[in-house]
A and B are shown apart, each in its own frame.
Chain A
Amino acid sequence: MRLSMVCTLLTLGFVVPTSSFAAEAGTRQRTFVRALELFDAAKSPQDYHESAALLESLLADGFRNGAVYYNLGNAYYRAGEFGRAIAAYRKAKPYRPRDPYLEANLRQALSVAPGKLPEPPPPWWKHVLFWSGWLSFPEKVYGAFGASLLAAAVACVAFFFRRGRAYWLSAVLMVMSAVLSVDALLGYRDVTGANHGVVTSETIARKGIGKDYEPAFNQPLKDGAEFSVLSENGDWIFGHFEGIGDGWLRREQTTL
């Protein structure tokens, strides 16, 4: 009796979640394929919008995938929403850093975006962590985790078996883990997209929170103008626009 109960519990504990995951994965695949079909059959920007909406629904529950972001960028690009396309490509970048097609499409979207602004120079740490643009965010995190586990194991071996060289190996692995952790930490903001925004419709940046404030720039900002978030206040975002300065924007007019 007791044995059968244990078996039942084990079944509930392992089989049910597994089947749930499988069903979820199947649903995602169907949605993904449906979005591709809509994209391929699209005749108007509205059709591309529908494809983009399906792809957005995949990401709504926290699911993250570089391919989905990439296709989402393509859909927005074809729909003429260059700002959203740029944002999607940027979000795909941490997951597909070595994808030359992603890079090419991002450059293409940037080149046609009407609100294009000069790109900020890469931060200094990108030069120090020169491999940063080559490893994906998951690779960095799992690499740091693996190196840390290995370092702990090697440290134990070194301690138990009194192997001096193993200490050095452990230290090297520790440094690797720390560097990858720092790299991942610095890249985390790219993954969340919390510090980077793109303007999605023509808007006027203001010098303060509210429409009564004077425009911050002599021209309106246009679709595709990228900015880094300096601070947020309710529905307003204070952003730095490379080459022109800082200004307040309504959140609804950005990808944030």
Chain B
Amino acid sequence: MRHAHWTAIALKRQRRSPNRHRARRTHNSPPWEGGVGGVGSRRTSSARPVLRQPSSAGKPFAAELPTSDGRCPPPHPPLPKGGSYKVPRLLGALLLFLFLAAPTHADDEPEIAVEAGATEIFVGESVDYLVEVRNVKTPSSPDLSALRKDFEITSLGDESRNQSSTFIINGRVTQQSSFGHVYRFRLTPKRAGHLIIAAPTAKVDGGTISGRALELNVVAPDPQDIVIPEIKTSRARVYPTQPFEVTLRVLVRPLPDDPDRDPLTPLRRRPPHLDVKWVDPPAGLTGEDKGRWLQSHLADNGVGFTLNDFTMRTISFFEGPPAAVFNLAKGRETRNGLDGHPVNYFVYELQRTLTPDKPGTYTLGPALAKGAFVSGMDGNSYAARRLVAVAPAATVEVRDVPSPRPASYCGGIGNYRVSVSARPKELRVGDPLTLALNIEREKGSGSLDQISAPDLGANSQLAADFEIVDRDPTGRSEGNVKQFEYALRPKRAGVSIPALAVTVFDPDRETFSEIAAKPVALTVSAGSRVGAGDLVGAIGGSATPKIQSRAQGIFQNITDPSELSDERVPVGVLAGAAAGSWLVAGCLMIVVSTRRRKSGDRVWQRKRSAQRVAERKLSEARKELAEGRSKEALRAVRSALVGLIADMRNIVAEGLTASEADAALKVTSVSSGDRAAVSRLLETIESAEYGSGAAAEAPTMIDEAARLIPSLARALERGS
């Protein structure tokens, strides 16, 4: 039962692993991607079992490598040995079913189950180690102190496996709970041999439970002189922020038939692999951007080493992304082989600059070189030997700067240059002066970030001659130079900037040393008044478009009183005026537009000219009457009245009788009195036309019409 449960956990882990792998890949921007975490263990479990075959370790085998095209066929991957990953998938599924069908219940006894990712690894490799504390709701972390003697232990996190199920069968409710907590670790053996992964223990309810011990065979590589990896550091002892180089050097024996040809060329189809832990620097060390660093090493012809789990960013439906190959060729180096004869090795180097942030001892490595390397000739073909070679770890001690430290110590570690400049150099007592103190970092020296502004007040001469306005300015870094700008004021005439010194720590001699800048000569005059001679240029009423060069201070005041106009801008008033102008313009346009529109309207035009036409006809009537043509005069009066009514009502004037005119007026607001008067007047005129004696009353009728026309026009205008 226990075995079944454990296998299920192992299978789940294997399924999750590729996802984690992919998630990490998306993080990198270069064409290759990946990271180093869990190199040995990941490959042990799933990634590339062929490259870390325990069965083949230390056992040379020959593979036919045709020399004609420089390619070698892929070696046959031997079956892995040990570890849960070799359980066939079908069997795993069956065991998983068994695990799910019979879960561990909460009332079972607490226990610890353990699992290692492999039973056999090489020195330098790591193995995943899982500890599950079962049947305890809130367990404490397992105690692995017994393992520390033989292993370096790295925690990879933990997760809860608590489960609760409720069953309702025939109305009966049953609840089952199972508790489990998985802790993941990575174990790195400290030595070779048959090691025991000691049983972990855990405190449960005041008691102690323990798991079972596991065996792990750590294989030491056989002595060989085909591939020799080694890790070197540029300094064994550094101080914080002082950068150093760590280099993995891999020496590979030249090809037996062509000693000048790159021995990795025939291995192009399956390049050898490097596991380098310090590609991601350990905590406390920082390096330049990994992508930028490795980008320059990327091989464009496929000859070189693969590194950790870096892959190319290539999308394929049929296979995963290919491993990134890095060209690390550096040159040649002659060393004696195992037989004592000199061998002119090919040297491959992977170098990285690291900077420590804090004191401590840092272990860099070990590193592994794995893969098939050409070991000789087999007829016309190369004979390859599958090898795993380990480069022992290198250590770097990062010491803290010793105490006590001098007061003038600025935080610099290494070699620096100091220079001082001042501006202006000609000034008066009390005038401000900017003193720029530049600290230039030389190669291999500590970071500029740690350098703080030296206290100029510590220089007694400077403090006596100048008022230091700002004693702690903020520095500005540009490239390898950090600049501090101080504001000073000379206290008296004739003073200059003395030689300023700062103290830095020399890591080679492990002592503090003082570096000084050259003094800066100033011309400080005693003038306490601002005289005309001190001013650089006069400013007239209008500004000069071309600025003149100057050597000191600020430009003089504006003295022209005519410049003293009120430059307030009544923004609201102007905005209102602008809006008003557009309003006026708009109104004018509306009026004009309306008039234009109406000028094309005949009805409107008739109405508009109706009164004027009627009055003109009336004046014609008077003229006719004056000439003794009373009949024509009355006809004109009738025409005036009828025309007015017709024009205002937009009806035909010709043939309009008195009754028709009255009917037209009836629907308007013309008063009944006026209507009656109009009707009577028109009937009288019609009678006169047919010979009645009404013509004698023509003057009276004209006067009556003259009275009626304005009244009618107003009423018809209103009521139409």
Contact = CB atoms under 8 A, between A and B. Distances in A.
Query: Which has the most chain A C-beta neighbours within 10 Å: B472, B557, B592?
Result: B557
B458 to A, nearest CB: 18
Interface in B552-605: 553-561, 563-569, 571, 574-575, 577-578, 581-582, 584-585, 588-589, 592
B427 to A, nearest CB: 11
Given A40-B530, A105-B555, A145 B574 contact: yes
Interface stretch (B23-31, B292-300, B542-550, B623-631): B542-550
B341 interface: no
A63 B553 CA distance: 28
Contacts of B565: 65
Interface string A150-172: 00110110011000000000000
B433 to A, nearest CB: 8
Interface string B480-505: 00000111010000000000000000
B557 A74 contact: yes
Contacts of B564: 25, 28-29, 32, 65, 67-68
Interface stretch (A6-14, A95-103, A119-127, A204-212): A95-103
Given A42-B530, A101-B539, A148-B578, A29 B561 contact: yes
Contacts, number: 145
A44 B550 CA distance: 24
B581 A98 contact: no
B557 A103 contact: no
A23 interface: no
A160 B592 contact: yes
A114 B547 CA distance: 26
What band does the interface of chain B fall in when counting residues whose beta carbon is under 8 Å from A?
A: 35 or more
Query: Which has the most chain B C-beta neighbours within 10 Å: A39, A141, A152?
Result: A152
Nearest to B474: A219
Given A80-B432, A104-B555, A219 B472 contact: yes
A198 to B, nearest CB: 15
Interface in A23-58: 25, 28-29, 32-33, 36, 39-45
Contacts of B257: none
Contacts of A197: none
B434 A80 contact: no
A62 B568 contact: yes
B554 A103 contact: no
Query: Which has the most chain A C-beta neighbours within 10 Å: B423, B431, B470, B548?
Result: B470
B567 A66 contact: yes
Contacts of A62: 568
Interface string B457-491: 00000000000011011100000000001110100
B528 interface: yes
B20 interface: no
A137 interface: yes
A187 to B, nearest CB: 11
Contact of B559 (A36, A116, A145, A219): A36
Contacts of B566: 63-65
A67 B434 contact: no
B529 interface: yes
A199 interface: no
Contact of A152 (B430, B581, B592): B581
A111 interface: yes
A80 B489 contact: yes
6 contacts: A71-B558, A78-B431, A114-B469, A114-B487, A149-B578, A219-B472
Interface of A: 25, 28-29, 32-33, 36, 39-45, 62-68, 70-71, 74, 77-78, 80, 82, 95-96, 98-105, 108-109, 111-114, 116, 136-138, 141-142, 144-145, 148-149, 152-153, 155-156, 159-160, 177, 184, 188, 219, 222
Interface of B: 423, 430-434, 469-470, 472-474, 485-487, 489, 528-531, 537, 539, 543-548, 550, 553-561, 563-569, 571, 574-575, 577-578, 581-582, 584-585, 588-589, 592
Given A141-B574, A159-B589, 16 more contacts: A36-B559, A39-B557, A43-B529, A78-B530, A99-B543, A100-B544, A100-B545, A100-B546, A101-B543, A101-B556, A109-B554, A111-B423, A138-B569, A141-B571, A148-B581, A149-B581
Lowest 6 CB-CB distances: which A-B pairs, in order? A114-B470, A100-B547, A101-B555, A148-B578, A67-B563, A99-B543
